[in-house]
Amino acid sequence: MENCLALWAKKKEKDGIFYWLSLKRHLEDTREVMGLLWEHWLSEGQRAYITKSMKVEEDEAKSLAMFIGAIHDIGKATPAFQIQRGFQNSEDLDLLLMEKLEREGFSGIKDLELTDRGKTPHAYAGEVICRLAGINRGIASIIGAHHGVPMKENYSLTSFVEAYTANFYQEEKEDSPICKKWKATQEELLSWALESFGYKNVEELPRCPKPTQLLLSGLLIMADWIASNEEYFPLFSLQNEVDHELDDATVNQEDRKKEETQISERVESAWLKWTQNQTWEAKQLFEAKQSYQNSFHFMPRDFQEKVFIEIAGAEDIGLVILEAPMGCGKTEAALMTAEQLAGKQQCAGVFFGLPTQASSNGIFPRVESWVDSLGQKNQEKLSLRLSHGKAALNEEFQTLSRNCSEGIDLDGEKTKYVYV
């Protein structure tokens, strides 16, 4: 990893002190968060779907998810990204990092100017690097889409690289020493990620169908946001070189173990700060009267009980449409149906969509009460969010938010189980 140790992923100046995060450390952070999200945030149904879709065992599917986290920012291992100025326009910090790269053999990077630097944002550059290395397009496209906008499906890989060769390798001549150094750096990062999960080569990586690509893209975006939050994963002082990277060629076993311990402690601390609620583990329901009593504290009407029985006896349901006069209890029937389906299909969340802000505000207390009942039944702290544009003006939602953020239980047991 000698070529990779000077590459930066994040940087800033605060109160006259320079901070940075090496690219390798950010990749390690994101890799570990992907693993934790797989274990503790994805529902059992989502894990099973991803695993089955790729025709692998669950531990192999988890390894792939973590591998994707480990290479997601490989596009930052390019001159186009490394010469990017910081958001705070700290010229001294930028210069220090350029000099660091120069000392590691990236000659000329300090004076490099690229007219089309913006044409290869690091997510797209990452997809291109992965495809050039032979990684299948399904996985490569997840890397390209991790900032929300995928590359065009019909782009020409060869034409893209030829048009912006210097963005990837600093010079147009691909056989020059500096071009070879950038290629070697990118290959080192990829080899490190492959070896971390026991892949001998890129051909051993499983193939992802498009629906699975979408799920893993969402998981990666979430992991990247968490790993990029400085409250959870702080940057290191550049002056003190606290974030000392170990060269694989020179470290002894004790040093390597110490580094692994530091990574583990850093990730554990971040995860405990981020995790404020549990994932809903829905149970299968078999008896209508008891289920309604537990969730809504009343006995079901005939209409609601009939719906419950139909859902309980059905298999592989994709869509349920309830039609009944106003006042029959469709809202509670819909919530109970969602609870039944979540138990059957091992899901971990519900989206309750309504046509207007007014109707959303009106239903919100009933949904909140239902979520609170779920939490009480399972002794879980569950999350709830009102997601329209004026949620900040909804007193019910804001009261819940204030109570939870302050850790004050103003309404008895209400905020014990519902979290914003």
Give tens-digit pLDDT for 188-238: 999 999 999 999 999 999 999 999 999 999 999 999 999 999 999 999 998
Collect all residues with Cβ–Cβ distance below 8 Å to 182 and sequence separation of at least 6: 77, 78, 79, 106, 168, 169, 170
Domain range summary for the chain, segments of one domain joined by +? 2-274, 277-349, 351-420
The pairing of beta strand 382-383 with beta strand 418-419: parallel
Q: Any idea which residue has 């995790």 for tokens?
A: 275
306-321 mean pLDDT: 93
First to last CA, the chain: 42
**Confidence band for 89, pLDDT divided at 50, 70 and 90:** confident
pTM score, two decimals?
0.86
Whole-number percent of the chain with pLDDT over 90: 75
Contact 185, 110 (CB under 8 A): no
Strands 17-22 and 8-14: antiparallel
CB 7 within 8 A of CB 225: no
| Cβ-proximal residues to 202 (8 Å cutoff; 6+ apart), any chain | 133, 134, 135, 136, 190, 194
Two tokens, residue 408: 């004050």
State the angle between helix axes of 23-40 and 210-227 in degrees (0 to 180), rounded to the nearest 10: 120
C-alpha 205: how far from chain center: 20
Average pLDDT over residues 345-368: 94
Report how far apart, in Å, the C-alpha atoms of 54 and of each of 46, 48, 139, 180, 218 are.
Answer: 13, 10, 12, 35, 17
pLDDT bracket for residue 316 (50, 70, 90)? confident
- Give the model's confidence band at 248: pLDDT under 50 very low, under 70 low, under 90 confident, else very high: very low
Mean pLDDT of 39-56: 96
Return the structure tokens found at 336: 């109970």
Which of the four pLDDT bands, split at 50, 70 and 90, describes residue 57?
A: very high
Supply the DSSP string of 69-114, one letter for each residue.
HHHTTGGGSSHHHHTPPPTT--HHHHHHHHHHHHHTT-TTGGG---
With both helix axes pointing from N to C terminus, report the angle between 210-227 and 137-144 in degrees, rounded to the nearest 10. Answer: 40
- Give residue 378's pLDDT band: very low, low, confident or very high (50, 70, 90): confident
Provide the pLDDT for residue 86.
Answer: 83
Q: Is 316 helix (H, G, I), strand (E, B) or coil?
A: coil
Among candidates 406, 363, 369, 419, which has minimal Cα distance to 388?
A: 363
As a whole number, mean pLDDT of residues 296-307 equals 96
Q: How many whole angstroms separate alpha carbon 246 and alpha carbon 238?
A: 16
Q: List 13's β-bridge partners, or say none.
A: 18
φ/ψ of residue 217, rounded to 5: -65, -45
pLDDT value of position 263: 84
Residue 305 is encoded by which pair of tokens? 């009980």
C-alpha torsion angle, residues 156, 186, 17, 273 (rounded to 10): 90
Q: What is the pLDDT of residue 131?
A: 97
How far is residue 222's CA from residue 228's CA, in Å, rounded to a whole number? 10
E strand intervals along 104-151: none
Which tokens sit at 143? 């890397």
Q: What's 418's DSSP letter?
A: E
CATH number of the 2-274 domain: 1.10.3210.30
Bin 55: left if φ > 0, else alpha if -120 < ψ < 50, else beta.
left
What are the Cα distances from residue 72, in Å, to 190, 238, 264? 10, 24, 20
**Residue 133 near residue 202, CB atoms below 8 Å:** yes
